[in-house]
């Protein structure tokens, strides 16, 4: 895997890859089956990030991952949809700084640090990043 691909992996996928790598390093002779918990986490990541990127990043069988991802998608409908959280941005007595983090379903992240929360049009920021 090239360095760019590794660096761009969503945090969730990095965790699954670390668990899979640890299992591969400690597995015993003749132990060929990946634990179901690791498959489950990989399937959830595939539901959010896509089958092909996950199977390539983790070195997993595409069809096996597809079968498990389909099962997780039918059990958890709507889990991969973005959720909207409303933030009450009324002016406060003392202006407070804040940090806002947005994450897309594909793992892209945006972090904004501002000194005055009311100085930013958060609706426009959300639309520009998430594409409303």
SS3 assignment, position 80: coil
Task: Looking at 1-132, list the stretches that DSSP marks H as alpha helix, in order from N- to C-terminal side.
Answer: 3-7, 11-26, 36-49, 51-58, 62-75, 122-130
Residues 111/101, Cβ–Cβ less than 8 Å: yes
Residues 98/127, Cβ–Cβ less than 8 Å: no
The CA–CA distances, whole Å, from 107 to 38, 41, 97 equal 19, 15, 25
Sign of CA dihedral 119, 124, 130, 132: positive
pLDDT tens sequence across 72-87 = 665 544 455 567 777 7
Of 75, 28, 21, 7, whose CA–CA distance to 47 is shortest?
75
60 is written with which tokens? Answer: 């997993």
pTM, two decimals, is 0.48
pLDDT at 105: 78
| Average pLDDT of span 13-19 | 87
């Amino acid at each position: 895997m090239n360095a760019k691909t590794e660096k761009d992996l969503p945090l969730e996928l990095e965790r699954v890859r670390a668990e899979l790598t640890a299992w591969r390093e400690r597995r015993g002779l003749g132990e060929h089956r990946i634990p179901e918990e690791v498959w489950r986490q990989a399937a959830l990541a595939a539901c959010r990030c896509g089958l092909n990127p996950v199977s390539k990043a983790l070195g997993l069988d595409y069809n096996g991952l597809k079968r498990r991802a389909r099962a997780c998608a039918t059990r958890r409908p709507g889990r991969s949809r973005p959720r909207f959280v409303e933030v009450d941005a009324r002016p406060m007595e003392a202006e407070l700084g804040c940090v806002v983090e947005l994450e897309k379903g594909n793992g892209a992240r945006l972090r904004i640090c501002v000194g005055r929360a009311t100085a930013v049009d958060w609706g426009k920021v959300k639309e520009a990043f998430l594409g409303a």
